[in-house]
Amino acid sequence: MEKYLVKTAENFQVEVDIPGSKSVANRALIIAAFAEGETLLKNMLFSDDTKYMMEALRKLGNTVIANEENKTVHVISNKNRIFDCAEEIFVGNAGTAMRFLPSYIATGKGTVTLTGIERMKQRPIKDLADSLLSLGVDVQYIGNEGFPPIKIFANGVKNNEVIVKGNMSSQYLTSLLLAAPYFENDTTIKIDGNLVSIPYVNITIKMMEDFGVKVENRENKEFFIKSGQKYKGMDYIVEGDCSSASYFFAMAPITNSKVKINNVKKDAMQGDIKLLDVLQEMGAKIEYGDNFVIVEGTGKLKGVTVDMHHMSDVAQTLSVVAMFAEGKTEIKNVYNMRIKETDRIKAVYNELTKLGAKVTELYDGLVIEPSEKYNEGIEIDTYDDHRMAMSFSLAGLKVKNTFINDPGCVSKTFPNYFEQFEKIYNKE
């Protein structure tokens, strides 16, 4: 297995560039596949997840022209949405693709099978499938009930009311929202339970409005979308990925350094920008610019108790920061981490414990207490999870001879992560 040795570093100054947001990019691709006219996406992220989405949309009859050098994608939609897919559409372990595509497909005509890697076949999709079934869409499981692969017999969406569970993933709701303007009748989506990851729902609604479609949000309990609205093709800039930026946000206070992170704004749509507030509470100094953030360590970090319900994708990042803070850090209300690329709560517990941190695993979070001395020469397992590789690379900046196994898994969202990471060694 390929390994990456992290070299220790501290008291450096560095400037890094953050790629476009995966969450924004894959929403934009779905919208562009619906839109009237042509769409040009700028500052596009080219990663495993976005490439799987682009290829899926091509197989569904859309024209998708990618220019990685210019970071642009030109989309011309398959307006009729008549799908002729004899072969399965493979989406790897891209959760957004597996969850956003079914509702898009349902609005058209044809039979489409969606599948992925073995881990994807363990990631639940029943809540979305149940919602589509209640809307009159014929969805069938090919393997285990409740999990991909699934086959969709698309013939339009005729029913006008649906209930979707909100407690495990907001992506099921986003899938329905993105497609609802193209359902045959006005649609009311009702939420069963408490809605997780509300900032991601807000991203969806904001982007729909950017492309010309209005959603009536009734206090996150119910959503109303008028049928017949159309997305308008346009030039659209994909904002920088705050989840990807989180590793560089955290790098500064861990190493008592100064890091400038480009392509990130204080008013970013993504909820993960709020990690900066947590780091500031812990002791970091934050400065915001027009399209950048500067984070500076102050030589001291203190533990915090934080509800990360709406920013669970950066909980791994904070878990590693907690190793180097004074006192206990408690990360709460992130039970949905267990159905991500891996069971992230269990994975973080395993690797922090291996390094020598004192960790308590909770059903919905972690309690982390620092140790006076950490174990050197440790190999960090990454569980085919890009965020495990990136977050635990930060531990290696302080703990000697830390190896990251399978560093290539970062290609899922941040293919040149280690190239950006290594800038710190040239700036000491």
Q: Decide: 240 and 263 in contact? Cβ < 8 Å.
A: yes
Write the DSSP string, 65-101.
EEETTTTEEEEE--TT-B----SPEE-TT-HHHHHHH
Total residue length of the chain: 428
d(CA 336, CA 419) in angstroms, rounded, equals 30
Q: Roughly how many angstroms between the first and final C-alpha of the chain, as a whole number? A: 30
d(CA 333, CA 115) in angstroms, rounded, equals 30
Radius of gyration of the chain (CA): 21
384 is catalytic: no
d(CA 40, CA 134) in angstroms, rounded, equals 35
Q: Which residues, at least 6 apart from 69, have a Cβ–Cβ distance to it below 8 Å?
A: none
Q: Decide: residue 308, CB within 10 A, 0-12 exposed, 13-18 middle, 19+ buried.
A: buried
- Which of the following is catalytic: 49, 127, 313, 385? 313
Q: Decide: 226 and 258 in contact? Cβ < 8 Å.
A: no
What is the residue type of 337? M
Q: Helix/strand/coil (H, E, C) string of 48-75?
A: HHHHHHHHHHHHCCCEEEEECCCCEEEE
Helices then strands, each counted (H, E), the chain: 12, 23
Sign of the torsion formed by the C-alpha atoms of 301, 303, 309 and 315: positive
Region of 233 on the Ramachandran plot (φ > 0 left; ψ -120 to 50 alpha; else beta): beta
What is the residue type of 216? E
Q: Decide: residue 235, CB within 10 A, 0-12 exposed, 13-18 middle, 19+ buried.
A: exposed
Which residue numbers are catalytic?
A: 313
